[in-house]
Every structure is written in structure tokens, then in C-alpha cells.
Amino acid sequence: MTLVRELVRVAPHAGAHRPALRCAVSVGVASLEQLAVGRLDLLGAAAFGAFTAIYGRDLTVPGRTAVQALTGVGLTLSVAVGLLAAHLPGAPWVELAVLVALAGVATLVGGIVDWKPGGPLFFVFAAGAFAGAPVQPGGTVLEILATTAGAAAFSVLIGSVGAVFPTHVRARRPVAVRTAREVLRSGIVGDVVLACALTAPVAVLLGVEHLYWALIGAVVPVTAVGGTQRLARGLHRIAGTLLGLAVAAPLLAAGLPGWAIVVVAVVLQVGAELFVLRNYALALVFVTPLALVVGATMHPAATGELLTDRILATVVGVLVSLAVLALRRRERRWSP
């Protein structure tokens, strides 16, 4: 019954409206800027930079500022890695190798500073979205990087606003909580890399179009804490994705104008932040259509193909990841 309770449990609100508001402002301003200049093709880059606002929700300034500055740089570098990977020969294997390596590095850095949400998910997302896309000309590459960096910097600014209030309390826990050796010894980096490395060929074999979606599905269970939580997180990922696709389908089919896409993106981001620490499946009801609607502005595709590929990639990533975790758990149990 523990697993059942974990699947249906909705944690207390716990002030989730505050990080949700910061995300709304960050995503909204970054998106409106692209709408104003008529560059909806850069909406994805702006969104990736604005994801900086998601981090450090458990910290007050200056801890939040430090963590968000680090993640903002990391997200911008991830986009740069993805853009570079798109130019490399040997697709899709070189692209996948780059994303697996990035997942390992992001997991290591995240373990050192203990950022929340944990793991490499958003960094793999940012890199993968561009690694699997057509090669961009030099001028467009610079525009994408500048847009991502600008949105990230604005998110750090919004996250630091709390410092001006008289009731502000400085962060009590240090940002750097573990050494790299401690993180590596915990096994989390190895688990993430192994899960992603095994997911990649399975996804290719099954014809997954958006391969990085499968890697994202793989890292979700691995980065949870505890066996029950890992299984629950994987099941949440599949169930939440299915529900999210039901929301995404009419939005994608509607052919929304630019201003409506911005409004939808902000509303979905707020919904995701309100539920992400309360019930992961409910959060994915918002996250899934957000990813698909914003992604469609970068790389349009047939709605049916997108929906099918999303659930296939998710199931592949989650199932391979859970199999890896089961084998690793058995291996550790029997090791002397």
C-alpha cells in the first residue's frame, strides 16, 4: 500500500504560489519580448533560459541567487552544447553520446550544490531540443544563445527581488553541500549515465523521433530518492504524460496565434510549479502540453506524430530506467 499512497498523495501547498509567481514573471516577460519583436522561433530559447526561475525554490537570497546564476549558466551552456552537437557527424549516435555525457556532468554539478529540482532533466531538455534539430546558421546560433542567456539573467534578477524586503531571511544552509568525490561515491552519476546510455539504443531501435525525450524519461526515476519513490516517479511520468497529451492535443490542433501561445505557456508553467512538489503526475498535466506547444514554435510537426512520439519516448525511457535501477539494486545487495 505504500506505493499506492505515494501515487495518489498530494502534498501540502507549502507556499508553492511564490515560486510559481516568479516563474510566471520570468517566462511571461521572456516570451512577450519574442512576441513583440516577431521572433516566435526564439520562444523555445527564451523558455529554456527562463527555466532558471524553477531552481532554488527552497532557498532565500543570496543562496537562491547563487544557485540560479549557476543553473542559468548551465542552461545556456546546454543550449550551446546542443547547437554544437547538431553540427557533428554520425547522427544520431554522436548526438546521443553528447547528451549522455551532459546528463552525467549536470548530475554531478547538481549533486555538489544540491539544486532543486535535482538531476539533469532541464539541461538534457535544453541541449536535446537543439541537438536533434536542423543545423542553424551562425547568426541564428548567436541569437539563440543571447536569448537564452538574457532570459536566464532576468530570471536570476526576479529570484533576487526578495532581498529588498525587510523580512528577508538569509539562507541558512550553504549552497555547496558535498564534494565531487562524495557525489560520485553515492552512485547517482553512474546510475544516470547507465540509464541514459542503455535507453539511447532502445529508443533508436524502436524508431523514437525525439530521442532526447527518451533520455528525459530515463533520468526521472533515477533522480528520485528511495525505491518506492523511484517506482512512483516513473509511473507518475507515464500517467502524467498521458493526461498531459489529452490537454496538448486540442492546443496543438487549434493553431494558436502568437499571443495565445504566450498566455498558454505562462498558465501551464504556473500550473506545473504549483504541483511539481505536490504530485508529479499532476504537474505533468501542465508540463507535457507546455513542452509540446512551445516546441512546436521551434520545429512544427504533425500533431498525431508528436503525441505518439511523446508517449513512446516516455515509456521507453521510464521502463529502461526502472530495469537499470532494479539490476543495480540487486548488484549492490549482493556485493561484498
In the predicted structure, residue 161 carries a pLDDT above the cut 90: no
Q: Model pTM?
A: 0.93
DSSP tag of 164: G
CA dist 133 and 45 (Å) reads: 13
Considering only CA atoms, give the Rg of the chain.
Answer: 19
Q: What are the phi and psi torsion angles at 181 (to 5°)?
A: -60, -40
Distance of CA 246 to the CA centre of its chain: 20
CA dist 245 and 79 (Å) reads: 25
Asked if residues 88 and 134 have their Cβ atoms less than 8 Å apart, the reply is no
pLDDT by residue (tens digit) across 35-54? Answer: 999 998 999 999 999 999 99
In the predicted structure, residue 169 carries a pLDDT above the cut 80: no
In the predicted structure, residue 244 carries a pLDDT above the cut 80: yes
CB within 8 A of 265, min separation 6: which ones? Answer: 27, 31, 43, 47, 290, 293, 294
Cell of 258: 502568437
The arithmetic mean of pLDDT across residues 125-154, rounded, is: 94
The pLDDT value given to residue 163: 63
CA distances from 164 to 49, 64, 159, 323 (A): 24, 14, 11, 48
CA distances from 53 to 122, 181, 215 (A): 12, 28, 23
Helix axes 43-50, 17-36, angle to 10 degrees: 150
The arithmetic mean of pLDDT across residues 303-328, rounded, is: 94
CB within 8 A of 105, min separation 6: which ones? Answer: 120
pLDDT by residue (tens digit) across 193-227? Answer: 999 999 999 999 999 999 999 999 999 999 988 88
Looking at every residue in the chain, the average pLDDT score rounds to: 90
Of the listed ranges 55-64, 102-111, 124-133, 140-149, the least confidently predicted one is 55-64
In the predicted structure, residue 4 carries a pLDDT above the cut 90: no
The pLDDT value given to residue 50: 94
CA dist 143 and 152 (Å) reads: 14
In the predicted structure, residue 93 carries a pLDDT above the cut 90: yes
